[in-house]
Amino acid sequence: MTPAEIRALVRTVPDFPAPGIQFRDITTLISHPEGFAATIDYLVEAARPAQPSAVAGIEARGFLFGAAIAARLGLGFIPLRKAGKLPVATIGVDYALEYGQARLELDPTLVVNNEPVLLVDDLLATGGTALAGAQLLREAGARVDQALFVIDLPELGGGRKLRQAGIEPWALIAFDGH
């Protein structure tokens, strides 16, 4: 499948979770066997040049793509969880969402000092979640130089913010607006 065909599998839900937001729903993509497999293929090929030692995914949809990439590359997967979900001592970071606040947490024992970790999530919008994930991984000792996304919403500026933080973003598809 081409990226354009994959893009056509993403459903747009208007006014969710708030008026004016065009929510890009990937459930229609991940439920499509060929579309989901092709998406993983593209992400794996984009990940290879970074030569990561591990892949980190942001809860929840980043788990779907990040774990699949890690499995294909023969690497471990590091989950970046929502607050209170891990049963061990964690480090965490609070961050602003487009429409609220959130917290990510990490078991720091999963990170080997100075290892290159690839950050993965389903969507790049303002960059707040990805920047929080990168900050958390870096606090644990990882090197985070690249982040992969299925979807980018370039008008919201997340890619620019990631580049300013020394992280090169890559997205399979993009949508105008938000």
Q: Which of 98, 155, 160, 168 is catalytic?
A: 98
Collect all residues with Cβ–Cβ distance below 8 Å to 129 and sequence separation of at least 6.
58, 95, 97, 102, 104, 121
φ and ψ at 124, to 5 degrees?
-110, 115
Would you call 34 a catalytic residue per the annotation? Answer: no
Span 81-137, pLDDT tens digits: 999 999 999 999 999 876 678 999 999 999 999 999 999 999 999 999 999 999 999
Q: Which of 7, 24, 59, 61 is catalytic?
A: 61
Q: Which helix (H) or strand (E) holds 91?
A: strand 91-97
Distance CA 168, CA 161 (A): 10
What pTM did the predictor assign? 0.96
Query: Which domains are present in the chain?
Result: 51-174 (3.40.50.2020)
Would you call 163 a catalytic residue per the annotation? Answer: no
